[in-house]
Amino acid sequence: MFPARGALLIFGHRVNNMVINRCRKPANADILVPDDTVCVIGTTSDRVPMETVDDMRVTPQEVEVLLREGEKLAPALATTRILRAYAGVRPLVAADNDPSGRSISRGIVCLDHETRDGLAGFITITGGKMMTYRLMAEDATNMACQKLGVNKACETGVTPLPGSEVTTEQPAKKTVAVMAAEGRHGTLTKTFTETTDVVDDAMVCECEHVSVSEVNFALDNLNVNNLVNLRRRTRVGMGTCQGELCATRAAGVMCRKQEQAADVKADLASFINERWKGVQPVGWGDNMAEAQLTATIYEGLCGLNQYAGKEELK
Amino acid sequence: MKFNTVVMGGGLTGLTCGIALAKAGQRVAVVATGQSSLLFASGSLDLLGYDAQGAPVANPVEAIKTLPESHPYNKVGDVEALAAEAQALLAEAGVKTTGQATANHNRLTPIGAVKPTWLSLDGYLTIDGDKLPYNKVALMNVIGYLDFPTKFIADGLRQMGADVEIKPITLPELNEARKSPTEMRATNIAKVLGNEDIVLRLAAEINAKAGDAEAILLPAVLGIKEDVLAQLLKKQVSKPMHYVATIPPSVPGARMQALLRKRFEALGGTFLNGDKVVAGELAGDTLKSVETEKLVGTKLEAENYVLATGSFMGRGLVSDYEKVYEPVFGLDVDYIAERPEWTHDNVFEAQPYMEFGVKTDAQLHVMKDGNVINNVYAAGQVLSGNNKVKLASGEGVDMLTALAVAKNILK
């Protein structure tokens, strides 16, 4: 295993609608990817010790490199608001003597430990990227099936994910909120937009157009049980305000039973801290003004710090 | 245009200073962008809620004496006298409050936490210690209004030993407003509930749902311009009723803003709304005039000037990749040079940037390139040395420094 850390910057809106890539040997900040309402510049690549793979703090040095190189790729980035920074660690598999991991292929490695190490019934699937996770699942499933004597090919490559089925329906005029929801849930959207009343249409998150019914849909159908899960499913709190008001509304909707209230408030405190971790490395300009407003609302007005766990207070 | 004093900033600080000066007979202009941090107000005003170590404060006047030398309260003089003056100034503007500077009471926050505070607007729930004055309360909320998370508030009330029942209420007009998915915000609801007829019907709805509760708690969604309707509802409801703060935009804050502005204008003050000072003409240690964004070619001239433009969120301070600066005059700012030192890792730690602000001398004069500017003062959140979130000191610093500056100008 070759853990290679990469840091990225997220900008507040799209400056491009297609991927822009610098045609050069892989280096820092050479790809600008539009994603939903934002665009993302990345990435760095540094080999990190296994003990630090859970440390996702983006350093000032990483921010500097990404800004300096990113502006060469798209000069508009110099004047575009950065929303946040984040980092991840790639589970690369080292193939040659490459100290940065930069030249390692992001290809998929599926190891059969029976033939390799004499360990029957043990498979490793690694390498790859988020983009290729279904292909990785296919490789691993096929190898497992072969071992189990199941004579059937994995079908994930030809089976649409829930919500991504091709539809021939010609829908009526859509609101912006419905269009935004379709971007996230595809054909599943109608299960929660067609049966609701006006109370359920109310906006929880105005930046990303998330309604009460979408939050309820995520709670009921998508295994959402905390605000970070909800954010990943609906983009609540991922817009320009980074959860300034919407997080409280979302938490209020999530709190279905009175007994949950204290736990949901603690989850809200943890969520606000998670948002801060991405803002802090780019905490200047508008972000500093926004951070001060968020602190004024959540700690000053609401006293949310009283519900923060030890992790948030240290 | 000539004035005795030009105040830059039309929030709580700027209006307090403007009113104090106008009341003393000065010709005053307040230049206001139109929105202020009062939009995030709680319905209470804080003087000092927590000490420098984070412990809740019982007597703000005493606890203020323990603050570090760098805190702006050390430049205002007699805190207790100024606090009384601030409360009187609010009352004269039609903002009636209860509370005193020598004894904090508690307020209930929009998520059901309890925080110490100095003054609460009439009609708002106040708590002495950690016990509610009632054993059983009905917590009412407008159906579809998400900025008043009732289960969170009920949790807080139960922690204080109260029996709470959550009761949804509505009216045909509110049902209508609800059809727009973003209409259910406090200030919008206040507009819907903006006449006597509807308030009387709201009172009937509340009375019908009150059950056997001893008291009724309602989100602060009434009375955006003046107190009359909020008081009318209180009278018409058959049980004791109190308002509780909501998630912003704040109705009590908008009302305070409107009433203070009205008071300032009634005293003859000039309120330049939707404008801001963008430049000034400095001659040595004196500011000769300022220019605004909208009044192109017109200079505002005054004997004295007050900078009440707020901190980062008010744009009174601006930061970039390399520095923190005061954007209008480039005044000297107290801050840490190394950007990674501006913040700490966890959001609820004391963030160093919160204390950044313009440098002032003992009379609250601002400085540029190390030299005192003799006729420019700073007040409110633009001052350095105050973490208003950790100390719960926002409104107190706003009003007391504004009054101190007014006194220094009138000397």
Q: Give dist(CA B402, CA B5) in Å, integer.
A: 13
Q: Tell me, what DSSP letter sits at residue B225?
A: S
Name the average pLDDT for chain B: 96
% chain B with pLDDT above 90: 93
Domain that includes residue B230, residue range: 125-244
Instruction: Assess whether B169 and B226 both reside in one domain.
Output: yes
B168, B148 Cβ separation under 8 angstroms: no
The pLDDT of residue A98 is: 58
Asked if residue B239 is part of any domain, the answer here is: yes
Note whether ipTM > 0.95 here.
Answer: yes
Question: Once rounded to an integer, what is the mean pLDDT over residues B269-295?
Answer: 96
The pLDDT of residue B34 is: 87
Radius of gyration of chain B (CA): 22
Asked if residue B109 is part of any domain, the answer here is: no
Asked if residue B86 is part of any domain, the answer here is: yes
Per residue in B40-72, pLDDT (tens digit) is: 999 999 999 999 999 999 999 999 999 999 999
ω into A43 cis (within 30 of 0): yes
B116, B106 Cβ separation under 8 angstroms: yes
Out of B193, B217, B244, pick the residue that ends a domain.
B244
- With H, G, I as helix, E, B as strand and everything else as coil, classify residue B332: coil
The pLDDT of residue A23 is: 87
ω into B249 cis (within 30 of 0): yes
* Closest residue, chain A, to B323 (C-alpha): A284
Radius of gyration of chain A (CA): 22
Q: B296-317 as b/e, with b when 16 or more CB fall inside 10 Å? A: eeeebebebbbbbbbbbbbbbb
Q: Is the pLDDT of residue A106 over 80?
A: no
The pLDDT of residue A311 is: 66
User: Which residue type sits at A152?
Assistant: K
CA of A296 vs chain B CAs: smallest distance (Å): 6
Mean pLDDT check: name the lowest of A85-99, A281-295, B5-19. Answer: A85-99
Q: Is the pLDDT of residue B129 over 90?
A: no
Asked if residue B119 is part of any domain, the answer here is: no
% chain A with pLDDT above 90: 56
Q: Is the pLDDT of residue B15 over 80?
A: yes
Question: Once rounded to an integer, what is the mean pLDDT over residues A236-244?
Answer: 84
Out of B244, B277, B309, pick the residue that ends a domain.
B244
The pLDDT of residue A126 is: 86
B392–A248: do the CB atoms touch at under 8 Å?
Answer: no
Q: Give dist(CA A223, CA B292) in Å, integer.
A: 54
Ranges assigned E (strand) in chain A: 2-11, 20-21, 31-35, 38-42, 46-47, 82-92, 108-112, 123-127, 203-205, 210-211
Whose tokens are 């954010």? That residue is A231
Q: Domain tally for chain B?
A: 2
Instruction: Assess whether B237 and B268 both reside in one domain.
Output: no
Question: Once rounded to an integer, what is the mean pLDDT over residues A134-151?
Answer: 95
Q: Which two tokens stand for residue B130?
A: 């950690």
Q: A81-108 as b/e, with b when 16 or more CB fall inside 10 Å? A: ebbbbbbebbbbbeeeeeeebbebeeeb
Domains and CATH numbers, chain A: 2-91 (3.30.9.10), 106-159 (no CATH), 176-313 (no CATH)
Per residue in A4-13, pLDDT (tens digit) is: 899 999 999 8
pLDDT band at B208 (very low <50, low <70, confident <90, very high): very high
B115–A303: do the CB atoms touch at under 8 Å?
Answer: yes
Q: Give dist(CA B183, CA B307) in Å, integer.
A: 35
CA of B411 vs chain A CAs: smallest distance (Å): 35
Instruction: Assess whether B131 and B48 both reside in one domain.
Output: no
Interface test with B, best of A302, A304, A314 (most B CBs within 10 A): A302
pLDDT band at A102 (very low <50, low <70, confident <90, very high): low
Question: Once rounded to an integer, what is the mean pLDDT over residues A36-41?
Answer: 90
Q: Quick one: which of A175, A179, A140 has its CA closest to A156?
A: A140
Q: Considering CB atoms only, which of B146, B318, B389 is closest to A296? A: B389
B396, B118 Cβ separation under 8 angstroms: yes
Helix (H) or strand (E) holding A310: helix A310-313
Asked if residue B110 is part of any domain, the answer here is: no
CA of B319 vs chain A CAs: smallest distance (Å): 5
A5, A48 Cβ separation under 8 angstroms: yes
Which CATH number goes with the domain that contains B322? 3.50.50.60
Helix (H) or strand (E) holding B299: strand B299-307
B312–A292: do the CB atoms touch at under 8 Å?
Answer: yes
Question: Once rounded to an integer, what is the mean pLDDT over residues B239-263?
Answer: 96
Ramachandran angles phi, psi of B319, nearest 5° = -125, 155
Which residues in chain B are contacts of A303 at CB distance < 8 A? Answer: 109, 111, 113-115
Instruction: Assess whether B267 and B296 both reside in one domain.
Output: yes
Q: Give dist(CA B309, CA A131) in Å, integer.
A: 48
Ramachandran angles phi, psi of B130, nearest 5° = -125, 30
CA dihedral B354, B357, B362, B364 (to 10 degrees): -120
Whose tokens are 């959402």? That residue is A224
Which CATH number goes with the domain that contains B133? 3.40.50
Question: Once rounded to an integer, what is the mean pLDDT over residues B348-358?
Answer: 97
Which residues in chain B are contacts of A288 at CB distance < 8 A? Answer: 312, 319, 342, 353
Mean pLDDT check: name the lowest of A37-41, A302-306, B81-85, B267-271. Answer: A37-41
Q: Please work out, in degrees rounded to the nearest 5, the angle formed at the alpha carbon of residue B66 by the alpha carbons of B63 and B72.
A: 90
Question: Once rounded to an integer, what is the mean pLDDT over residues B79-108?
Answer: 97
Alpha carbon A282 to chain centroid distance?
Answer: 18
Q: What share of chain B is helix, strand, coil (3-state, %, to 5)?
A: 35, 25, 40
Instruction: Assess whether B218 and B322 both reside in one domain.
Output: no
Question: Once rounded to an integer, what is the mean pLDDT over residues A172-200?
Answer: 84
The pLDDT of residue A301 is: 98
Instruction: Assess whether B174 and B44 both reside in one domain.
Output: no
Asked if residue B386 is part of any domain, the answer here is: yes
Asked if residue B113 is part of any domain, the answer here is: no
- Tell me the sheet residues that pair with B117: B105
Instruction: Assess whether B278 and B238 both reside in one domain.
Output: no
Q: Is the pLDDT of residue A95 over 70?
A: no
The pLDDT of residue A305 is: 97
Q: Which two tokens stand for residue B410?
A: 């009138």
Ranges assigned E (strand) in B246-298: 270-273, 277-283, 286-292
A110, A125 Cβ separation under 8 angstroms: yes
Count of beta carbons in the 10 Å neighbourhood of residue B160: 17
Q: Which two tokens stand for residue A23?
A: 């045609």
Instruction: Assess whether B184 and B204 both reside in one domain.
Output: yes
pTM to 2 decimal places = 0.94
Out of B190, B215, B244, pick the residue that ends a domain.
B244
Q: Give dist(CA A234, CA A239) in Å, integer.
A: 11
pLDDT band at A82 (very low <50, low <70, confident <90, very high): very high
Instruction: Assess whether B57 and B14 both reside in one domain.
Output: yes
Which residues in chain B are contacts of A313 at CB distance < 8 A? Answer: 346, 348-349
The pLDDT of residue A127 is: 82
pLDDT band at A108 (very low <50, low <70, confident <90, very high): confident
